[in-house]
Amino acid sequence: MAPATSKRYNSDVETLRKKEYPHMNNGVYLDHSGATIYAKSTVEAFASKMLTGLYGNPHSENSPAKLSGDVVDQVREKMLNFFGASPKDFDLIFVANATAAVKLVADCFRDLAEKSRDQKFWYGYHKDAHTSIVGVRELTRGQFHCFGSDEEVEQWLQFPENTSINRTNPNGLGLFAYPGQSNMTGRRLPLSWSWRARHSDSLQNTYTLFDAAALAMTYPMEKIFQDPDRAPDFTCFSLYKIFGFPDVGALIVRKESGHILSLRKYFGGGTVSMVATFGDKPWHRSKGLQAPTYKLHEGLEDGTLPFHSILALGEAIDVHVRLYGSMSNISAHTSYLIDVLYRGMAGLRHGNGRPACRIYSENKDRDFRNPSKQGSAIAFNMLLPSGAYISYTDVERIANDAGFYIRSGGVCNPGGIFSLLGYEPWMTERALSAGHHCGSNGISVLHRLPTGIVRASLGAMSTRQDVELFLDFLRATFVDVDGEGIDIETAALSETPTLRSIPSEGALTERQQQSVSASAPALASAPDLNLGLDNSGRNDLLRKPERKKSRTRHIPLLSHLRRGEHNHNKPVVAKLPSLPSLPARSLPGGLPTLR
């Protein structure tokens, strides 16, 4: 499918949404970085195969087992071709997800390092790395380094011997890991680092681990694998981020580097050709070390593969190609949309001229439309007219109740949170001692600083309407356009009907209308909230003494938002006489503030 309109927006997706994604009708889904949405045709094709075929355990030799084994082989090659990775130069190991792929590589390096003099391997990782990448450091016996910037990586690649990176032996076994795209901000990192490390005289024993889980969702991976010499040694994927279903991952290994993984200690069912159980020195023979009789993946895929999921993956690939044509089309489509979203959010301002939204990005020229610099995700926090932060957990909860599905918190990116939110090591220690932890029950704002962010991310099936409705929601809910002040009127609609219980056309029964009205009484003045500001620093827009009663702010449900001719500087609420918009309740206790 080729883009049908100019400016790289693929309007054909709007038609696809009606036919292939009817399950997306109950809200605006903006968490594609977590998992994208599966197509209806994928489920139907998979169900048809399951109902017409008989599939057995591929480790057996009977006909149903052989059918499963053939499917696994075919889908493995199909997946490599989808990524533009030649089966001649690359092998693919099926795993549970990207984290499982990372752990497989890490375990292999730990085992091999035990045969070195100091029994250690050096590990370097970029600050934008996912938590699963960071966790590898615990296997290094303290010999690891976190690169705090792209510039530090560049300096290390240029002068490996002169850089202080906590590496006692520059020529020893090493592993450098980094993401192709920050799963927090969507910023895309340089793709040349693997090639530069491979061609450095001083880094011949240093391998590269590339986390492509976030990148592959909207990026043509043939740009990574078309030249095997420039490709990473190991690349990990969570395939549900690309296809939505099934829940399976992959590790693509450059064959010239893959032998190092075959030296691991552990072996599972199906990965060995023979095992001696008794005797003074029990032994085994890994299939990974018996090329060309066996292939690399046969020595690394422990136990029975999820062959039904792999069958579904083959159908998902076919449907994806039929619906979207190529990943280049998806890249152009999502780049257009994320640029629209960024510009819209950057333009949100309160009546006093202050920004209503802070966007976190290290994309220096803020070129969100350039797919080499930016993916389809955006990290942000909402601000009060005073400049104080609104709790990210409340933003997510309010959005969820209105039918907008986003994500908030640390999003499994500790380095990104630490650097972009302005933390120092002692501040992290203070947050921990104060009781903060990852998750919805953590402390959202501590000493005027947020401890996390809100993330909105787009996928192949996202539309311009998704973006416009979300911008309307932010504008109507969190922006004080008239300068009358805000009394923290961004409360969760926990006791009000949501999109899931309100027909999209507003066709409510009389009883339903009475229920909505009863659940939305006018509120008295909001309590004074401590936002961590002293009396002299508190902006009078936050609380005006002369006002006897707080202004009720209306938070629109998604079913009330309509695109049309309106002033973008004012909240957009549909005119439904029988269904009033729902007033927000004041936050109980306000934003957490500790001293």
Omega before residue 246 within 30° of 0, cis: yes
| Residues 194 and 217 sit within 8 Å (Cβ to Cβ) | no
Give buried/exposed letters for 363-390 (b at 16+ CB in 10 A, else e). Answer: beeeebbebebbbbbbbbbbbbbbbbbb
In sequence order, what are the residues at sequence separation of 6 or more whose Cβ sits closer than 8 angstroms to the Cβ of residue 499?
26, 27, 402, 403, 557, 558, 559
CB 446 within 8 A of CB 389: no
**CA torsion 145→146→152→155, rounded to 10°?**
30
Give the tokens for residue 392.
Answer: 């990210």
Choosing from 146, 357, 412, 438, the catalytic residue is 412
Of 450, 419, 501, 372, residue with least CA distance to 129: 419
CB 118 within 8 A of CB 140: no
**Rounded Cα distance, 277 and 411, in Å:** 45
Radius of gyration of the chain measured on its C-alpha atoms: 27
Q: What contacts 215, CB < 8 A, 6 or more positions away? A: 179, 180, 181, 188, 221, 375
CA separation, residue 388 to residues 2, 343, 476 (Å) = 45, 22, 18
User: What is the rounded distance in angstroms from the CA atom of residue 273 to the CA atom of residue 270?
Assistant: 8
Our answer to whether residue 236 is catalytic in this structure is: no
Q: Using the 8-state DSSP alphabet, how is residue 161 labeled?
A: G
- Of 236, 158, 239, 166, the closest CA to residue 199 belongs to 158
What token pair was written down for 46?
A: 């998979």
Contact by Cβ (8 Å): 473, 402: yes
Contact 226, 84 (CB under 8 A): yes
Give the Cα separation of 289 and 295 in Å (integer): 9
Question: How many CA within 13 A on the CB side of residue 520?
Answer: 24
Catalytic residues: 412
